[in-house]
Chains A and B, each alone.
Chain A
Amino acid sequence: MSLRRRLNGSRRSPLAATIVIAAGLLFSGGGFAVATSVVESNVATAYTADQIAEGKKLFLSNCASCHGLNSEGTKAGPSLIGVGAASVDFQVGSGRMPGQGSGPQLPKKTVQFTEAQIELMAAYVASLAPGPAIPDDKYLEATGDAAHGGELFRINCAMCHNAVGAGGALTEGKYAPVLKGVSAKHIYEAMVTGPQNMPVFNDSNLTPTDKQDIITYLAYMDENESAGGYALASLGPVAEGLFIWIFGLGGIIAITVWLAAKSN
């Protein structure tokens, strides 16, 4: 998967300069728009008007080129009206946003903003329309029922993310990311917002307690090593098959050659 993306990346390189210039023009245009327009904000319940205003400034200079000056969405990016604070916290907090170039899927990368800046942008987006909020800390502690979480994970998540959260391939270059080491807050936010091609698991499907159980299960998998020895990235039959075909069969062939060879 990573090889494929790298190859795609190298093929794109002639276009990269054009894209960078276009993005630069858009950003500077956006910046100009910030400087000249009067900032108006809808007051949301949990955030102050100042936060929303500051968040809008950050939004206009960093996000509006793709998501539109009023977050209404453009050809390059979807509308952010109603996606909620949880979406912003997940997308920007995991480094997926702001995106660099187009592709089948935006990868996780170094986070571009501080916690405080992310919160301001979340405040602004939350003020546009009601949407999923940043989860309550009490559901993020890995103190739930890991067995129940495991069952829910196998029914709802494992088909894409693998039974132990090792990730997996989807169609046409998209993929379900590895869940090892992902923070409980981001796991929760991904379930409520359905980032990129992931479906949404709202609270009537998986209750907050169910989500906490899933977080507990994933934390358990992070903390406990594989009982069966080296897990070969937990990828299942592909990695295991490759290993046994190369090393197992290779060993058998080597021994056969040695058995049949005449001594010097």
Chain B
Amino acid sequence: MAGKDLERSKEAEGFEHEFESGLAVISQDKISDPGLAPHRVRMTDKSPKHAKNAERQVAVLFLLSVVGSFFALWAYVAFPITEDLSTVRANNLWLGLGMTLSLLGIGIGAVHWAKTLMPDFEVSEARHQTRGSEDVRAAAVEIVKLADQESGFSRRKLIRRTMYGALALFPLPALVVFGDLGPVVGDSLRHTMWKKGTRLTKDPTGIPIKASDVTLGSVFHVIPEGLAEMHEHKLEEKAKAAVLLVRLNQEDLKEDESKKGWSYDGIVAYSKICTHVGCPVALYEQHTHHLLCPCHQSTFDVTEHCKVVFGPASRPLPQLPISVDAEGYLIAQSDFLEPVGPSFWER
């Protein structure tokens, strides 16, 4: 074995010499093949007492597995799953422990047996070359030629061309069917349920909110009017339209001239969907006026149009322009003026 290894390492050296002239840097301290580690005789090979011990250990492990199997059977009967859901826990726990013991006993026993008692001589196998021998290559070419000749693939043009046509067209129905599998996104990422005059209502009840309800320091979790009664696509709509409503002291708000009319008496409404990857941003700190996203700690400053003050989000949370109707209920002035949530390609 060792002789063969030596030969291989010499071959490798020769291979490298061929390229030596072309290399800019010639490695001088190339790692040499360490070969096989010297063989060490195990205790179980030297002393019959150790061998006997190892044999007993393996047997004990297999017996443990037997115990585990019986335990699992017993546990299945002793901890039945009933109408009470909490019984699942005890059932799974003890049944699982029994099965674990049963499998681990067999596995560890088998490995221990192989490591301590089965013969331990080292074997090394040389890799063969990737390129086949000339004979094998010639035979392969012969087979392809014969197949072509017998099938008439090259000769019968009509068959060949119609087959190409059939193969090219057969994926078409699948493509059409797959294309219709999901809904077409269209411009649904750019619009939400909010439109001019939609009342702001409480999540989950859908009760409309009066401006006077929103006291200083309050935070309301808001859905658009009508969402609470929806049955189809309710969650899709909620995922886009969820809004957080906060009232601040008017003097704490630092509003842009262009967005001055978007708040009402210190009440501001922002999309709850993080502009980073779309988690609900709702951890509002009453005194710092910071909104924190629990997923990646993006922090938005409510006093300044929810600009990003920390974290990976790159855009402020979109603001919902709000106002009040004749009865004093808060309403939206329009939809969000930009797409809510995380960035997407065509944004």
A202 at the interface (CB under 8 A from B): yes
- Does more than half of chain B's interface fall in helix, strand or loop, or is it mixed? mixed
Q: Are the CB atoms of A159 and B283 closer together than 8 Å?
A: yes
Considering only residues 27-85 of chain A, those with a C-beta below 8 Å from chain B are none
Q: Are the CB atoms of B294 and A227 closer together than 8 Å?
A: no
Considering only residues 160-205 of chain A, those with a C-beta below 8 Å from chain B are 160, 168, 170-171, 174, 176, 194, 196-202, 204-205
Q: A199-B284, A205-B218, A259-B111 are in contact. Are A151 and B204 (CB under 8 A)?
A: yes
B276 at the interface (CB under 8 A from A): no
Q: Are the CB atoms of A264 and B43 closer together than 8 Å?
A: yes
A14 at the interface (CB under 8 A from B): no
Q: What is the CB-to-nearest-CB distance from B241 to chain A, in angstroms, rounded to a whole number? A: 14
Bound complex: CA of A201 vs CA of B221, how far in Å? 11
Q: Are the CB atoms of B203 and A155 closer together than 8 Å?
A: yes
Considering only residues 284-306 of chain B, those with a C-beta below 8 Å from chain A are 284-288, 290, 292, 294, 297, 299
Q: Are the CB atoms of A263 and B115 closer together than 8 Å?
A: yes
Q: What is the CB-to-nearest-CB distance from A185 to chain B, in angstroms, rounded to a whole number? A: 20
Chain A residue at minimum C-beta to C-beta distance from B215? A202
Q: Are the CB atoms of A197 and B285 closer together than 8 Å?
A: yes
A11 at the interface (CB under 8 A from B): no
Bound complex: CA of A229 vs CA of B97, how far in Å? 14
Q: Which of B6-14, B25-33, B86-94, B160-168 contacts A (4 or more CB under 8 A)?
A: B86-94
Q: What is the CB-to-nearest-CB distance from B94 to chain A, in angstroms, rounded to a whole number? A: 12
Tier of interface size on chain A: 20 to 34
User: Which chain A residues lie closer than 8 Å to B299 at the CB level?
Assistant: 171
Q: Are the CB atoms of A204 and B282 closer together than 8 Å?
A: no
Q: Are the CB atoms of B89 and A159 closer together than 8 Å?
A: no
User: Which chain B residues lie closer than 8 Å to A196 at the CB level?
Assistant: 286-287
Q: Are the CB atoms of B213 and A205 closer together than 8 Å?
A: yes
- Does more than half of chain A's interface fall in helix, strand or loop, or is it mixed? loop
A262 at the interface (CB under 8 A from B): yes
Number of interface residues of B (CB under 8 A): 41
B202 at the interface (CB under 8 A from A): yes
User: Which chain A residues lie closer than 8 Å to B290 at the CB level?
Assistant: 171
Bound complex: CA of A151 vs CA of B84, how far in Å? 22
Q: Are the CB atoms of A227 and B210 closer together than 8 Å?
A: no
Q: Which of A197, A229, A259 contacts B286 (CB 8 A)?
A: A197
Bound complex: CA of A264 vs CA of B47, how far in Å? 12
A110 at the interface (CB under 8 A from B): no
Q: Are the CB atoms of B204 and A194 closer together than 8 Å?
A: no
Q: Are the CB atoms of A263 and B287 closer together than 8 Å?
A: no
Scan A200-239; emit 1 where CB is below 8 A from any B CB, else 0.
Answer: 1110110000000000000000000001110000000000
A8 at the interface (CB under 8 A from B): no
Considering only residues 262-317 of chain B, those with a C-beta below 8 Å from chain A are 280, 282-288, 290, 292, 294, 297, 299, 310
Q: Are the CB atoms of A170 and B204 closer together than 8 Å?
A: no
Q: Are the CB atoms of B89 and A227 closer together than 8 Å?
A: yes
Q: Which of A171, A199, A205, A263 contacts B116 (CB 8 A)?
A: A263
A156 at the interface (CB under 8 A from B): yes
Q: A159-B282, A196-B287, A259-B111 are in contact. Are A205 and B86 (CB under 8 A)?
A: no
B4 at the interface (CB under 8 A from A): no
Bound complex: CA of A229 vs CA of B92, how far in Å? 10
Bound complex: CA of A229 vs CA of B308, how far in Å? 39
* Residue among A159, A174, A194, A196 with most chain B CB within 10 A: A159
Q: What is the CB-to-nearest-CB distance from A226 to chain B, in angstroms, rounded to a whole number? A: 9
Q: Which of A160, A168, A228 contacts B89 (CB 8 A)?
A: A228
Q: Which of A170, A194, A227, A259 contacts B86 (CB 8 A)?
A: A227
B103 at the interface (CB under 8 A from A): no
Q: What is the CB-to-nearest-CB distance from A255 to chain B, in angstroms, rounded to a whole number? A: 9
Bound complex: CA of A170 vs CA of B293, how far in Å? 9
Q: Which of A152, A170, A201, A259 contacts B285 (CB 8 A)?
A: A170
Q: What is the CB-to-nearest-CB distance from B201 to chain A, in angstroms, rounded to a whole number? A: 12
Scan A86-128; emit 1 where CB is below 8 A from any B CB, else 0.
Answer: 0000000000000000000000000000000000000000000
Q: Are the CB atoms of A229 and B285 closer together than 8 Å?
A: no
Apart from A176-B283, A263-B116, what 19 extra A-B contacts exist at CB < 8 Å?
A: A151-B204, A156-B221, A170-B292, A171-B297, A196-B286, A197-B286, A197-B288, A198-B286, A200-B217, A200-B219, A200-B286, A202-B213, A205-B220, A227-B86, A227-B88, A227-B89, A228-B89, A229-B93, A263-B43
A-B interface, 5 closest residue pairs, ranked by CB to CB distance from nearest: A204-B213, A199-B219, A197-B285, A263-B115, A159-B282
Q: List 29 A-B contacts (CB under 8 A).
A: A155-B203, A156-B221, A170-B285, A171-B290, A171-B310, A174-B285, A176-B283, A194-B218, A194-B286, A197-B285, A197-B288, A199-B246, A199-B286, A200-B215, A200-B219, A201-B218, A201-B219, A202-B218, A205-B202, A227-B85, A227-B88, A228-B89, A229-B93, A258-B111, A259-B111, A262-B42, A263-B42, A263-B120, A264-B42
